[in-house]
Amino acid sequence: MSLQIPHVESVGHGRRYRRKVPADIQPVVGRKSWIHHWSGKVPEDRWIFEARRLARQHDLVIERARAGELLDATAVSDAEATARTILNQDANRRAAFIELATNDIFGVSADNPRGPWLTAVLKAMDHGGTYVPDIVSLAAAYERDKEALSAQGKTRSEKAIQVGVDAFSRIVGAKDVRQITPADVEAWMNAGRKAGQSPRTISRRGVSLKALVKRAYLKLGHTGMNPFAAFSFSVKASATDRMPFHRQHLDQIAAYMARSTRLKPETRALVLLARNTGCGPAELSGLTLADISLESAIPYIWIRPNRIRGVKTAMRDRRVPLVGDDVVAALNIVSQRATRNGKGRPRDTINLFRFHAERGADVTSAVLNKLIRSAGVPKSRRLSAYSWRHGMKEALRAAHVPEHIQRRILGHSGTAVADNYGSPSGRLEEARDAITKALPHLGDIDPLAYRPGELPKPKAKGAKS
C-alpha cells in the first residue's frame, strides 16, 4: 500500500519533499519553496518521520510570518533599536516617519522587501520600543523561548515540553497564547487521557506548559490569568511509578544477553552501563566520544550538556565511574566503532548510541524495553528501562553509602555541604568505591514489593533452563 505523506512525491528510487512558500510571506521567508531529498537507501520510517517534522516546522514558519513575527532575530533587534530612536525624537519627526512608513511607496505591501521590517518598527513603537507581533501562538511562544535560552548559552531537555506543545497546538491551532482558556487546557488533558497517557505524563507536560505560558506572558507584558493555573498539576510518584529489577529479572536479562547471537554491541553496552552506573536512558544515549574516558586511572563517563543534547538539571552534570571490566570492554568496542564511522568529525559530535535530536531517548528506551521483554521480564509499566536507575538507588542504600555520595552518583539535588566537598578526582574515587560496594546488592528487593505477575513464574520441575 502506497503511503500518502503531504508534500512528498516519488522521484526515481527516492523521495522529495517539496512545498511552495505562500506568496504573501515569501518576502519574509526569503525563498519561494522548501525542498528536501531522500535517496532510495533511506529507510521508510526515517523519511516519513523527517517529512512530518519538516511539515510541522514549515507550518510554524507560515504561522509566525503571517502573525507579523519576523523570523530573523537580528532584524527584530534592529527594528526595536530604530523604534526607540524614533520615539526619542520630537512629535513632528515621529509623525513624519509613520507617514513615510505607511504610504504606498515605502509602505508594507507584500512585494516590498522593506515592508515587513517597517511593520516591525511600527509595532515596536506601539509598545514602547519592544516588538510584539499581532499573534503569538503557543508554538511560536515555544520557539521564542528556545531562542532566548540559546542566546543565554543555556541548554535543557526539550522532549517533554515539545511533545506537550505539539499536542496542545493540535487542539487549539494557531490561537494567540493570550487567548487560551482553561477550557482549552481541559480539552488538551482529555485528549491525552483518551490517547492512553498516564496522569503522571499529563501532569509533567502540564507543569512545563504552565511555566512556558508564564514566561510568554512576562515577555509580552500580559497580566491575564495563566489558563494552566486553574488546574493542579503534580509530578509526585504515582502507583504506576517504576520499580527496581529483582535479582530474578537481572538473571533473566543476563541469560538472554549471554545466549543472544544477534545483539548489537551498542545495545549490550547500554544495558551494562544502565545496570552499573544508574544513569537514565536519555543520559546514556546522548553520550559522545568526548564524554567518555576509558584510559584514565578510573574510567568514567561524563554526563553533561554537549552539542547534541542538554541535561535535565544542573545537578545531572557529573562524572560517573565505570566499575566492571565487562562495562569498560563493551564501551571500548562501541567507541572504536563510533570512531571509525565518524572519521574526520570532532569527537564531541560523534554520538555513541541512538540519541535522536527530535525524539530524545525514545529510540534508546524502545530498544532497551524490547530487550527486557525478549529476556522474559513480565510486561509491566513499572518494569522498564528506567528500572536499572531505581535498582542502583536501592543498591546504594543497601550498601549504606552516604546520602551525599548517592546524590552525586545519580545526579540528584541536595543542599548539604558535603555534596560539593572534595576535589574532582577525590569525588570520582569515592563514587567508584560506593558503586563497587553497591553492585553485589543489585536486585535485593523484597518480593512482596511487586504486584502479582511482576516476578517471573517459577519453572516447572524438570523444565529445561
Return mean pLDDT, the chain: 84
How confident is the model over 249-308, as pLDDT tens digits? 999 999 999 999 999 999 999 999 999 999 998 889 889 999 999 999 999 999 988 877
pLDDT bracket for residue 375 (50, 70, 90) = very high
Of 66, 85, 110, the last residue of a domain is 66
21 in Cβ contact with 32 (< 8 Å): yes
Of 205, 230, 255, the last residue of a domain is 230
Query: In this predicted structure, what is the pLDDT of residue 110?
Result: 46
Query: In this predicted structure, what is the pLDDT of residue 374?
Result: 96
Flag whether the pTM goes above 0.85. Answer: no
How confident is the model over 211-237, as pLDDT tens digits? 999 999 988 888 889 999 988 886 554
Instruction: Tell whether 3 is covered by a domain.
Output: no
Strands (E), 73-135: none
Are 295 and 179 in a shared domain? no
Query: In this predicted structure, what is the pLDDT of residue 1?
Result: 36
Are 84 and 226 in a shared domain? no
| pLDDT at position 239 over 70 | no
- Grid cell in block for residue 111: 512585494
210 in Cβ contact with 229 (< 8 Å): yes
Residue 300 has phi, psi (to 5 degrees) of -155, 165
Q: How many domains does the chain have?
A: 4
Are 425 and 286 in a shared domain? yes
Edge-to-edge strand order for the sheet containing 300-303?
292-293, 300-303, 318-321
Note down the domain range covering 172. Answer: 138-230
Are 214 and 263 in a shared domain? no
Instruction: Tell whether 132 is covered by a domain.
Output: no
Query: In this predicted structure, what is the pLDDT of residue 112?
Result: 52
Are 371 and 408 in a shared domain? yes
Bridge partners, residue 20, by sequence: 33
Task: State the average pLDDT over residues 133-158.
Answer: 78
Other Cβ atoms less than 10 A from the Cβ of 27: the count is 17
Instruction: Tell whether 79 is covered by a domain.
Output: yes
For 417, residues 6+ apart whose C-beta sits below 8 A from its C-beta are none
How confident is the model over 443-457, as pLDDT tens digits? 999 999 999 999 998
Instruction: Tell whether 274 is covered by a domain.
Output: yes
Are 78 and 61 in a shared domain? no
How confident is the model over 410-463, as pLDDT tens digits? 998 655 545 555 566 778 999 999 999 999 999 999 999 999 999 998 766 655
Are 255 and 346 in a shared domain? yes
